[in-house]
Structure 1
């Protein structure tokens, strides 16, 4: 087994850096490496583009995360927080003509993601986007801006209070100690500091009262009530959650399928070109096509391993183990450690049988001292195979010496054997 592996590695590197079994010179080797890098970069770019062709779960259900966050929020102010979040969102929109009114911003962003791509945006999320657009009006933006300004003013007053309170404590100690006011290190006296604190607290209380009034006005708007009606719809949220989880389960599988759709034609094309070039002895074409085969296999293998870590199989095992063993998610790794070697063992057995059934070319069998019929190893140039009894030689029509069957030229005189009927 080890000898076979070493022979395979040696053949691999021989094919990678030689033309017709002649080694490449350093300059040619650099050129072929640069070509490999260039093609590999473009292969990964193509894989990235085609994997983004299908909508991701977050793009197909863009309202799910925000909706779930709202439902899990236990704060009594979650409604006003939701409105402030919507009014703070920034959408990137295309440029429209002055004569035509711009479409709703959130809904337009949701719909733009599906243009020219596979999949559709959830109709429930589109309705959610419409409700958000109705809230995001200039009048409500003005209220939000007024709330922000008052919150900023409260923050400035509270910072001022902290500074004054620090000086107030110091001046109060100085006063108790009987220290002269002219010798104080503080710019404000205790009485003046207390008066300033009281004034600032009154302003803060007034600003908070004004903020409460503005928030109540914002919550009382009909568009706000419509939005919260949508958010309180349990059936709609359950539908979105189910669709999101189902999309998350299948998304890695769909991505791998699209990436394989991109890579398989390249692999087949490079393989056919390599076999043709090997048969016709076009050394340079065989070298380049061999490198292409390697380059196309590298991302395919990486994507398969990536799929095994996040794909449907992983999600299936994760859900089963989570249900059976709770938080012992590390058992998924144990399961993989058990399953992957078993799967590899089965694949090796299958490919070994396929390799035996698909007989190699006569020239390669002769070079490897193998039987032309059963491909078993021959020793000491045996004329008859000890495994199947097949005769390996035939008589040359020109020199009448024994030469290998199925090879085009005589090994003794070089006469063409295929021209004889």
Structure 2
């Protein structure tokens, strides 16, 4: 635990030291505020750029815009499903143009079967069919009005009937119509409703039986066509997150490379302010990349899975979840820190490369060939060889004088 604490402390000390100093001198408050504002501005623009580039490739819904409606049609059991899908085809805009608009400013093309699907819908979407649909809607509105009128009449009829049973005179009635009149009006309205329903059914049958409608229904009932588009849609849905992640990485990696290169160059040359800003930029560019990696690896889904298991185990003792997170999240953090400390930023692994470039083994800043101590961090560069007792570079596998193995040498 003490070792983890030491590693964590060193990491944060180094991080905040680089983030708040120029040439090992602390920043004044105004400069720090300016840099923080710059960081926020750049971070916002980075996320904006990530969002823009992730939506550049067409999504499965844009590439296969007919899939949802087609799939819904096939899963419906309603006897009016043919009419319903034809009814949804009756609008003022062209379906094919609407589908193709998704291609503008995006990478990819609408699937040809969906374009054919749109062509069939556009053929249905003619003035004659639109007028038939308007007539159906008008008749539906009349039916709704008659039903509302019937509800009102029934209320009056029931009230009038009760008055009649109670022997109340017609002059003292609170209703405008008698029970007989109400009954007659109800029957008349019901006849009109039945007639309108029959007329609507006839119009629906006419719409469905028209040549363009028959061709469309035959097209969407083609099992092979739907199977093809369904398979392609599922495949596209599977790969789309990976494609988005790839484009987001293409956006971030050049920025990370540039910031890292500038930071290393300015550190070697001693350009403190530029080194500081490039360090901040490097951190900023890494933040969304790490978030996208977690999103790509579905870390949230893993946490949700763990959360569901905890709920099943502990029932309503949900406060225990907080304990789990308190213990679990630091472990993940320690694991990440350990990985970077031991693998990515491991001094022993990078020692040979740094010695070759005349860099400090510890801080990787430029030193002279005969410097025993780093003038930047004060780190001692050498260790005594156990074989020949000459000093040789730390962490290198063999002594530079006698070639003896240095694996057993203690720092």
> What SS does the aligned partner of 1:358 have?
helix
Candidates 176, 185, 189, aligned match of 1:187: 176
User: Which residue in 1 is equivalent to 2:401?
Assistant: none
Deviation at 1:369, TM superposition (A): 6.3
Structure 1 counterpart of 2:43, from 37, 40, 43: 40
Which 5+ residue runs of structure 1 have no aligned equivalent?
A: 92-104, 315-336, 374-382, 394-421
- By how many angstroms is 1:280 displaced? 1.3
Q: Shift of the alpha carbon at 1:357?
A: 2.2
- Residue in structure 2 matched with residue 96 of structure 1 by the alignment: none
Deviates more, 1:159-168 or 1:176-185: 176-185
- Taking the aligned partners of 1:4 and 1:154, their CA distance within structure 2 comes to 77
Matches of 1:225 and 1:111, distance apart in 2: 25
Structure 2 counterpart of 1:246, from 226, 231, 235: 235
Q: Which residue of 1 aligns with 2:78?
A: 75
- The answer for the alignment partner of 1:24 in structure 2 is 27
1:149 Cα shift?
0.6
Partner of 1:325: none
User: Residue 164 of structure 1 aligns with which residue?
Assistant: 153
For residues 250-265 of structure 1, the aligned pairs below 5 Å read 250-265=239-254
| Aligned-pair CA distance for 1:112 | 2.2
**Which residue of the partner structure matches residue 17 of structure 2?**
14
- The Cα shift of 1:121 comes to 1.5
Deviation of 1:64 (Å): 0.7
Question: Counterpart in 1 of 2:397?
Answer: none
**CA deviation after TM superposition for structure 1 residue 213, in Å:** 1.4
Kept in 1, the 8 Å contact 2:8–2:337? The answer is: no
Residue segments in structure 2 that go unaligned for 5+ positions in a row: 303-327, 364-372, 394-411
Give 1:119 shift.
2.1
Whole-Å Cα distance in 2 between the matches of residues 170 and 79 of structure 1? 44
Structure 1 segments of 4+ aligned residues over 4 angstroms from their partners: 343-350, 352-355, 367-371, 385-390
Q: Tell which deviates more after alignment, 198-207 or 62-71.
A: 198-207
Cα distance in structure 1, aligned partners of 2:379 and 2:390? 11
Q: Does the CA-based 8 Å contact 2:58-2:103 persist in structure 1?
A: yes
Q: TM-score, normalised by structure 1?
A: 0.76
Matches within 5 A, 1:214-229: 214-229=203-218
Go from structure 1 to structure 2 and tell me whether the alpha carbon gap of 1:178 and 1:347 turns closer, same or farther (over 3 Å shift).
Answer: same
CA distance in 2, matches of 1:290, 1:236: 54
User: How many correspondences in the alignment?
Assistant: 345
Q: Cα RMSD (Å) of the superposition?
A: 2.9
1:154 aligns with 2:146: no
Equivalent residues in 2 for 1:9-408, closer than 5 Å: 9-88=12-91, 91=93, 105-309=94-298, 351=343, 355-359=347-351, 360=354, 361-362=359-360, 364=362, 366=373, 372=381, 384=384, 391=391
8 Å contact from structure 1 (residues 252, 310) kept in 2: no
Once the 2 structures are TM-superposed, how far is the Cα of residue 10 of structure 1 from its aligned partner?
1.1
C-alpha distance 387-131 of structure 1, shift in aligned 2 (>3 A): farther
Alpha-carbon distance between aligned partners in 1 of 2:205 and 2:138, rounded to the nearest angstrom: 17
Determine if contact 1:51/1:255 at 8 Å carries over to the other structure. Answer: yes
Find the residue that maps to 2:110 and give its secondary structure: coil
